[in-house]
Every structure is written in structure tokens, then in C-alpha cells.
A = this chain, B = another copy of it.
């Protein structure tokens, strides 16, 4: 659940890229969230610590961090959200009514994953899936 600045920095440097304050701030900002941080949230958080930062830099650095797999992204209701990678793999249940997001452990997908590999020869990422639906609360209120 925690991200380690040092380790991230090492990985960035290892691959021949540069450790900049902006990139570290971004990692911090993504980490601060409850796990599903939008671009705007990230931008605001970083700007509060480094007012001079530019949106373009945030876009570029997010892409960069995603490519290095230090950060992962998912699409939730049309918005791209970011999370620190390397945490235990998990997925998201998004209620289409109230918008609540809850995490879902990865083991639910293990069978599907191995099945697709054996039967279809398809190696799914199955990473950070977003499942839409109706949460328990909203189902009650609806019926």
C-alpha cells in the first residue's frame, strides 16, 4: 500500500531516465489518494506543493510512469484514474447508480485467466479491471 520513493527512483534511473522532482511529486500525489486518483486530483495536489508545474508535464509524466509500470491506469466511468503499481493486484466494482468504488481481490479472476490461456491461448492482463453494476445499497433502494 505504500510506495517507496527510493525504489521508484532507482527503477527510473536504472532504465536510463531521470529522477526529477516533478516525477517524485507525482508519485506522492497518486499515493495520497484512496487508490483511484483522477488527473485533476493529481494536478491539484502537485500544484499545491509546486505551483509552477505545468499540465503538460503532468500528462507526459503520467504516461511515462505508466510505461515504466510504476503506475497503472484504469477507465472508470469515462475518466482515467491512476494508482501506484506493485500493490497486490486488484480490481474495481463501480456502482453505476451511486458511483461508489470498491476494490475486488484478484483471486476471483484466477480461474478465468487460466481458462482463457488454456482454451484460447490468450494471455489476459486482467489487471485493474473495472466492473460496473449495482451495489448492494442501491439494489435495496431500487426494489
Bin chain A's interface residue count.
Answer: 20 to 34
Indicate if A124 sits at the interface (CB-CB under 8 A). yes
The answer to whether B136 and A120 touch across the interface, beta carbons within 8 angstroms, is yes
Q: A108-B115, A108-B116 given as contacts; is B133 within 8 A of A125 (CB)?
A: yes
Q: List residues of chain B with CB within 8 A of the CB of A104.
A: 116, 120
Secondary structure dominating the interface of A: mixed
A111-125 CB contacts (< 8 Å) to partner B: 111-112, 115-116, 120-125
Query: How many copies, total?
Result: 2
Q: A62 to nearest B CB, angstroms?
A: 14
Q: A108 to nearest B CB, angstroms?
A: 6
Q: A18 to nearest B CB, angstroms?
A: 27
Q: A82 to nearest B CB, angstroms?
A: 15
Q: A113 to nearest B CB, angstroms?
A: 9
